[in-house]
Structure 1
Amino acid sequence: MSDTIPILDLGPLLSGEPGALDRLGGELRRAFTEVGFYFVRNHGVPPGLVDAAFAAAARFHAQPLEAKLAMPFDQNNQGYLPMRGNTSRMNAVEGVKKPNANEAVFFKRELPPDHPDVLAGRRFRGVNQWPAALPGFRETALEYSAAMETLGRRLVPIYAAALNLPHDWFDDKFREPMFTLRMTHYPQQEPTAAEDEWGLAPHADTSFMTILAQNKVPGLSLRLPDGRWIDAPALEGCFLVNGGMMLRRWTNNLFLATPHRVTNRSGQERYAIPFFMDCSYDAVMAPIPTCVTPEKPARHKPFTYLEFMSEYSGANYGERGRSAAGVELQGA
């Protein structure tokens, strides 16, 4: 089914070929209005770094449970989330399912303890927690995050071209992108497991952009706009990219936030290292001008990363996702 998901080749763009950005913009627009996912190749990320990040995820989850619990998931959505620690609610499709059968650890931009946002207690701008007994883990996670941020920044002007905006339209909104690296472990699920038992239940992402390294262990599937579920192919040397509810709201529902799900009946342990990238913390996301017309007026109020993610976290992570004020926010 790889012919169903468009493939964007960054080679001409990175080599400075004239017109490459606008051509890619047209391809991305088709991807997000017809499928909601695209592959990107010739992206400049070393394959060895991707392999190292997968290995780091496996190392982390191989630790004793008590070592992982020493990094508890906090109100900033950083740290370790135990098995079945969250339920897809705000972003669920096909109804709310059972708690997700995975465990995960989350990292954001590395901020020092004396950073002004840390000292001010700004939510989602906390200090990362790192495992105490995994030499080299922190360095690998940070190097991979930096590579993903670089790739995401390369992709953002293509979104501007796709939306008939000046190529630099998003620049001031991505001065310091918010991002999350999630390292997930999906244990083997028994073939006899209930049909509504998911490693990750059908859902739409929250993000502006999710960059997913290709996985040698199958399990990911996505729902096309016509309602068909297809297994996502793994194209060697590519990343799979999709948008989420933030992107959909920002584009006044022009771009798709395509539902997807994960189940692991491969007979192997499965790891995933999705990278979620969003605009800067204080950027205001009002419906993009080229997505608003007299026939299609603005459907959403302007919002910020903090507002959106506080609502999402309270809905999906329960007690662990309480807001800084201690009040759990309800999902949509």
Structure 2
Amino acid sequence: MAAVAIPVLDLGPLRAGEPGALERLGAELRRAFTEVGFYFVRNHGVPEALVEEVFEAARRFHAQPLEAKLAMRFNEHNMGYMPMRGSTTRMNSLGTIYKPNANEAVFLKRELPADHPDVVNGVRFRARNRWPENLPGFRETALRYMDAMEALGKSLVPLYAVALGLPPDWFDEAFREPMYTLRMTHYPQQDPATAEEEWGLAPHVDTSFMTILAQNRVPGLSVRLPDGTWLDAPAPEGTFLVNGGMLLRRWTNDRFLATPHRVVNRSGRERYAIPFFMDCSFGHVMTPVPTCVDADNPPRYEPITYSEFMTTYQRANYGEALAEAEKAGRQKVELQGA
């Protein structure tokens, strides 16, 4: 059932330059996003050893004392450490607002130099990463993984164009320097009896154009198929699970699915996840794709940029973490002035 429910796209022929591979994969991706909303990729070229290093880096980060993690406290740029239960799924929920999510996470973005104009000018979502002080190799591992995920994501973008009946390079300018976020999440063990009262991550859809998720040996993720049934996501070895979110759905004028999913950790073990969220370049204006608009299906959304969308989303879902960060900042100022 799982193999039929979630398509598997083999990138080997595409990477080898085989004739017709792009068109075949584009058709497979179109079916995935009109019937399921998720797909796997295999033969993607990302070393399994690197994936394992990042899972270990996530474990090491969250094993630190809370004080060390709070030194990288979550901020208005959607970067840094978000404490346990620091988010509540609201804007992208399925209608029911549950308790704050039972997870903690650290968010990292593109590494920008101190003299980058966006850093100097304080542009939102374009700040510098903060790194843990006593985790040797953490920064280097995270940066190598983000580079690998960006390369994989950009290699997939032409498939989306072909799937939408567009030239393969149609999205190239939009993804010249994509915005992205690596989220390293820790899901503690949950009591199965209370799992539906407090989710590890409540039922939701992602915000992204593309989410790339490394396979996890500790189960917990399930997806809601278009017929409304929930499927525990399988984890084929050596693959990544890819899905789209609200921005993909919006950009395609609702043609492509943003499929709901949820996480609950009933495994009896600590669970870690390393989703990579990729979107268009910072200033690119997303208007409905022309092949998704006609007289019977006019544009449903106003043009929007990544920054405009994410500002609204962050305010809705990460209000708790931002409030705590602002409170901590005020207390620090008061102590310094005492």
TM-score scaled by structure 1? 0.96
Q: CA RMSD in A?
A: 0.9
Q: State whether residues 209 and 248 of structure 2, in contact with CA within 8 Å, keep that contact through their aligned partners in structure 1.
A: yes
- Structure-1 separation of matches of 2:158 and 2:316: 32
Select the structure that is richer in helix. 2
Change (3 A) 1:164 1:321: farther
**1:68-101: CA deviation from partner (whole Å, max 9, x where unpaired):** 0010100000000000000000001141111000
Q: State whether residues 54 and 273 of structure 1, in contact with CA within 8 Å, keep that contact through their aligned partners in structure 2.
A: yes
Note the 1:100-115 alignment, pairs <5 A.
Answer: 100-115=101-116
- Structure-2 separation of matches of 1:153 and 1:242: 14
- Structure-2 separation of matches of 1:306 and 1:176: 14
- 1:169 is matched with which residue? 170
Deviation of 1:114 (Å): 1.3
- 2:135 is matched with which residue? 134
- Structure-2 separation of matches of 1:23 and 1:321: 45
3-state DSSP of counterpart to 2:96: coil
TM-score scaled by structure 2? 0.94
Q: State whether residues 83 and 321 of structure 2, in contact with CA within 8 Å, keep that contact through their aligned partners in structure 1.
A: no
Deviation of 1:319 (Å): 5.2
- Structure-1 separation of matches of 2:180 and 2:88: 21
**1:103-154: CA deviation from partner (whole Å, max 9, x where unpaired):** 0000000011211000111100001010000000000000000000000010
Note the 1:199-218 alignment, pairs <5 A.
Answer: 199-218=200-219
- Structure-1 separation of matches of 2:96 and 2:215: 28
3-state DSSP of counterpart to 2:300: coil
Deviation of 1:195 (Å): 2.2
Deviation of 1:223 (Å): 0.4
- Structure-1 separation of matches of 2:198 and 2:321: 22
Q: State whether residues 94 and 202 of structure 1, in contact with CA within 8 Å, keep that contact through their aligned partners in structure 2.
A: no
- 2:285 is matched with which residue? 284
| 1:177 counterpart letter in structure 2 | P
Note the 1:226-305 alignment, pairs <5 A.
Answer: 226-305=227-306
**1:137-191: CA deviation from partner (whole Å, max 9, x where unpaired):** 0000000000000000100000000000010000000110000000000000012
- Structure-2 separation of matches of 1:167 and 1:190: 47
**1:238-277: CA deviation from partner (whole Å, max 9, x where unpaired):** 0000000000000000000000000001000000000000
Q: State whether residues 77 and 321 of structure 1, in contact with CA within 8 Å, keep that contact through their aligned partners in structure 2.
A: no
- Structure-1 separation of matches of 2:272 and 2:177: 28
| 1:93 counterpart letter in structure 2 | L
Note the 1:309-320 alignment, pairs <5 A.
Answer: 309-318=310-319, 320=321
Report the identity percentage. Answer: 72
Deviation of 1:196 (Å): 2.1
| Paired positions, count | 322
- 1:155 is matched with which residue? 156
3-state DSSP of counterpart to 1:172: coil
Q: State whether residues 86 and 320 of structure 2, in contact with CA within 8 Å, keep that contact through their aligned partners in structure 1.
A: no
**Structure 1 unaligned runs (5+)?**
323-332
- 2:32 is matched with which residue? 31
- Structure-1 separation of matches of 2:170 and 2:137: 38
- 1:328 is matched with which residue? none
Note the 1:6-85 alignment, pairs <5 A.
Answer: 6-85=7-86
- Structure-2 separation of matches of 1:321 and 1:45: 34
Change (3 A) 1:247 1:321: farther
3-state DSSP of counterpart to 2:13: helix
3-state DSSP of counterpart to 2:184: strand
- Structure-2 separation of matches of 1:13 and 1:88: 37
- Structure-2 separation of matches of 1:201 and 1:303: 26
| 1:279 counterpart letter in structure 2 | C
**Structure 2 unaligned runs (5+)?**
324-338
| 1:20 counterpart letter in structure 2 | A
| 1:88 counterpart letter in structure 2 | T
